[in-house]
Amino acid sequence: MRKLSKLLLTLVFALSISSTSYAVTVASWGGAYTESQKLGYGDPAAKKLGISINWVDYSGGLSEVKAQKAAGKITWDIMDVFAMDTINGCDEGLFVKFDFDKDFPAAPDGTKASKDFFTSMPSKCAVGNILYSWTYAYNDAKIGSKKPKTIKDFFDTKNFPGKRGIYKSAMHNIEMAVAASGTRPGKGGKNIYKKLSKAKGLDAAIKKVEALCKDPNGGCVFWSAGAKPPELLMQGEVVMATGWNGRFFNAEVGENAPLKQVWDAQGLDYQYMVVVKGGPNEANAMKAIAEMTSAEGLAGSAKYIAYAPWRKSSLKIIEKGEPWYKDGKTNMMEQMPTHPNNTQNYFLLDPLFWADNGTEIGEKWEAMKSGL
């Protein structure tokens, strides 16, 4: 009897070790977004590969993984990161460098992975995941009869009095300020970054946000988590808020909230996945990331959230399968930030600009905020 229980104990122990050590841990941004990743490609990939994939939330930035590395115990295998962080993390040697066409599967029609993705990657450690967008939204039930339509309306406190919800860091805010002061973004937003790389243009952009925040009819509430802007709007704490289009879509279509998005001067940005070097399970992480970013995988996540997949072949899968949204009646293509209706006026966020100038702009931005 005693022997048997001992044996059982050992077995349980061995099982628990093996099941945890073969699991792949992915750090992502939580909320509706992680949900879409988990259901869209996480679970299918896990099933196909026979490994379990765990999802943990974090709020962006590299500090946590740097701390894990410094402590000698890395617990994350894959991270979902901003473009700027793939550059910085790759520079610091935190992430695995990919051999792109070898590590990632080709499209169903045989196109090489590097050709199937829209553009090249900002660093050797990155693989594209989704295209999302910074837009702004308002609460239709509370805004009144006049509705905001353009990016200028976001700064117009005369016609639309009330507080605004904006991202806590300078990113996207200063680009939006430049676009709202009348600069046409130009191809991919290059006019905006031309303005911002001059001290005068940068100061003017920060001043414009400052003026909005100091305006007695305006005022700013700063958000950091992606779930916050829809929440602020629904509570009536702000009249308009910038945010990520998928989160607004989720509130609007998924939860039937009276939110409306404004696509004018939307800031398109790419989101990436990376494999952490020396993570608990690097080999399985490589398999999982390849499976998740396959054509079917990326198309799968678009079933749950309005973020556009990176691969051209994924878009084809969605088009064929419309209505693609999980409720079975919403067409996804027109909800995508890349749809022609939504890209009348847009800019692309420039990761190299932010990698280069982020610190200095951050200083000025924080100084402005501390004076509010």
Partner 1 sequence: MSSETQKILTTDGIPLEVSLKKVERRNKFKAFLLVAPLLLFLLIVYISPIIGMLFNSVDDRMVTNALPKTFIAMEKWDGKDLPSEEVFEAFYIDFQKLIEEERDGKLSTQLNYEKNGFKSIIKKLRRKSKSFEEGNYKEQIMAVHERWANVEYWRAIKRRAPAYSYSKYLKGVDMYQNESGRFVQVEEDRRIYKKLWVRTLKIAFYVTLFCFLMAYPIAHLLATLPLKYSNLLMICVLLPFWTSLLVRTASWMILLQQQGVINDFLVWIGLVADDKRLVMMYNETGTYIAMTQILLPFMVLPLYSVMKTISPSLVRAGKSLGGTPFITFWKVYFPLTIPGIGAGSLLVFILAIGYYITPELVGGASGTLISNQIAYHMKYTLDWSFASAMGLMLLTGVLAVYWVYNKLVGIDNIKLG
Footprint on this chain of partner 1 (rule: CB under 8 A): 61-63, 66, 87-88, 90-93, 169, 203, 213, 219-222, 235-237, 352, 355-360, 362-364, 366-372
- Which is nearer to partner 1, 50 or 371 (by Cβ)? 371
Tokens of 253: 């279509």
- Which is nearer to partner 1, 249 or 354 (by Cβ)? 354
- Which is nearer to partner 1, 39 or 204 (by Cβ)? 204
Positive or negative, the Cα torsion across 355, 360, 361, 362? Answer: positive
DSSP 250: I
What's the CA gap between 270 and 215, in Å, rounded? 33
- Which is nearer to partner 1, 66 or 326 (by Cβ)? 66
Contact 41, 291 (CB under 8 A): yes
- Which is nearer to partner 1, 216 or 340 (by Cβ)? 216
- Which is nearer to partner 1, 322 or 363 (by Cβ)? 363
User: DSSP secondary structure string, 293-324?
Assistant: TSHHHHHHHTTTSS-EESBHHHHHHHHHH-S-
Q: How far is the CB of 188 from partner 1 (least distance, A)?
A: 17
Count Cβ atoms below 10 Å from residue 71 Cβ, excluding itself.
Answer: 9
Give the list of residues 6+ apart from residue 31 with CB closer than 8 angstroms, or none.
57, 225, 226, 227, 247
- 3-state SS class at 96: coil
- Distance in Å from the first CA to the final CA of the chain: 72
Q: How far is the CB of 249 from partner 1 (least distance, A)?
A: 24
Q: How far is the CB of 218 from partner 1 (least distance, A)?
A: 12
Q: How far is the CB of 351 from partner 1 (least distance, A)?
A: 11
- Which is nearer to partner 1, 255 or 360 (by Cβ)? 360
What's the CA gap between 141 and 158, in Å, rounded? 19
* Residue whose entry in the numeric block shows the structure tokens 């009869």: 145
- Which is nearer to partner 1, 236 or 321 (by Cβ)? 236
- Which is nearer to partner 1, 120 or 370 (by Cβ)? 370
Q: How far is the CB of 150 from partner 1 (least distance, A)?
A: 25
Contact 51, 288 (CB under 8 A): yes
User: DSSP alpha helices (H): ranges in 132-189?
Assistant: 151-154, 173-180
Q: How far is the CB of 49 from partner 1 (least distance, A)?
A: 30
Q: How far is the CB of 168 from partner 1 (least distance, A)?
A: 9
- Of 166, 145, 286, the closest CA to residue 222 belongs to 166
* Residue whose entry in the numeric block shows the structure tokens 């590097």: 114
Q: How far is the CB of 40 from partner 1 (least distance, A)?
A: 28
Q: What are residue 221's DSSP bridge partners?
A: 165
- 3-state SS class at 103: helix
Q: How far is the CB of 354 from partner 1 (least distance, A)?
A: 10
Look at strands 220-223 and 164-167 and give their pairing.
Answer: parallel
Per the omega criterion (within 30 degrees of 0), is the bond before 323 cis?
yes
